[in-house]
Amino acid sequence: MTIKDIAKDLRLSIATVSKALNNSSDISQDTKKLICDYAESVGYKSRKSLACNGRVAVLWAKDEQMDKYTAPSLVAESFRAFAQKQRFDVYFNLLPQDEAFNLNEYLEENHFLGAFLVGLNFFSPVYNQIKNTKYPLVLLDNYITENDLVSGVGSDNIHSTTAVVDYLVSQGHRKIAFLGGERQSLVGAERLAGYILGLSRNGIEYRYDLTYFGNYSRQSGFDATDYFQSKDFTAVVCASDIMAMGLMDRLRVWGKKVPEDVSVVGFDDLEFMRYTNYDLTTVRQDFNLIGEKAFRILESMINGLSSQRASLGCTLIQRGSVKKID
């Protein structure tokens, strides 16, 4: 099947069909949809024909989060898969850290209809530009209320972390430490809030000295373990599986055993961790659903609907890294 064949079948000019399959802006959306739908139905598989609805971007604030094993990367891959199914062309790019970078100009120059922003924190150079965006944006684990073109999607971090504390208390733990993420990120603040709420409703006083802030890296787990070495605790709530992995590795260096000496809970339930000997109790995020929801929200805003914030539930996965104590 060729462009010429499609044009003949639909009784349209070759030029019109070509423009539709190349997402040209000078033909009507109805004609474009007619041509694209027909092209797909008859097996026309050019790259352009599968991206008739336009271009969207996945923009990363930090290159280390693009690693395929991180939670943001898994969400982004899900977003890409659902967008491509709906015939959007998806581009992954790292956001420049240059103060001169202009997000509106970048989206306009690259003909993007909107973007999914990953890894932004409150100190990101582009954060303040979001309020003035002219294009639909969906933020992962973040949101603002000042612009109707900006939506947010992520997990219910507060209630999920509170549930972890409740579980540890039910297992006899009352000296519970917290290894948090970035203090300047919304997700880090929400997981800390969930931890403090969990302590409060179980009648446990929050102790700042049992809190350590990292950056979701394995090294953060090492550093936190060294910090906690002189503290009195029986369990640690970690804001990510990767940090929990580093903490558990460093505990072994101390000669401490998990869960015999210290119980550990992570957050994410990264798939590769399920096939290791960490046997980590953790909070499972539904990365596939988060990515799909992010795309659905962005698509709806591209089509003129209002913004929204989606907060998706998580599941506590009980494994062998938590010990019941008297």
Give 57-68 pLDDT, tens digit per residue: 999 987 766 677
Quote the Cα angle for 60-88-111, to 5°. 65
Whole-number pLDDT of residue 143: 87
DSSP H/E element including 306: none
Same structural domain, 169 and 242: yes
For the four alpha carbons of 210, 215, 217 and 222, in that order, the dihedral sign comes to negative
Q: Is residue 319 part of a domain?
A: no
- Judged against a pLDDT cut of 70, whether residue 47 lies above it is answered with no
What pLDDT, on a 0 to 100 scale, did the predictor assign at position 49? 47
Tokens at 26, concatenated: 């000078």
Asked if residue 40 and residue 19 are part of one domain, the reply reads yes
Domain edge (last residue) among 19, 35, 51: 51
pLDDT at 288 over 60: yes
- 270 lies in the same domain as 221: yes
Q: How confident is the model at residue 22 (pLDDT cuts 50, 70, 90)?
A: confident
Give yes or no for residue 256 having a pLDDT over 60.
yes
Residue 247 maps to which CATH number?
3.40.50.2300
Calpha distance 216→72 (Å, rounded): 11
Task: For 178-222, write each residue's pLDDT tens digit.
Answer: 999 988 889 999 999 999 999 999 999 999 999 999 999 999 999
- Look at the chain and report how many structural domains it folds into: 3
pLDDT of residue 51: 55
Over residues 310-318, mean pLDDT: 96
Identify whether the C-beta of residue 302 lies closer than 8 Å to the C-beta of residue 318. Answer: no
* Both structure tokens of 228: 């906690």
Residue 154 forms beta bridges with which residues? 311
First to last CA, the chain: 72
Domain residues for the domain of 251 are: 157-285
Whether residue 299 sits in one domain with residue 264: no
Residues 115 and 204 in one domain: no
| Segment holding 48, helix H or strand E | none
Are both 183 and 238 inside the same structural domain?
yes
Record the pTM: 0.81
**Sole residue written with tokens 């802030």:** 213
Q: Does some domain include residue 105? A: yes
Q: How far is it, in rounded angstroms, from Cα 115 to Cα 101?
A: 16
Residue whose pair of structure tokens reads 């799909």 in the numeric block:
292
Give 179's DSSP letter: E
Is 60 exceeded by the pLDDT of residue 48? Answer: no
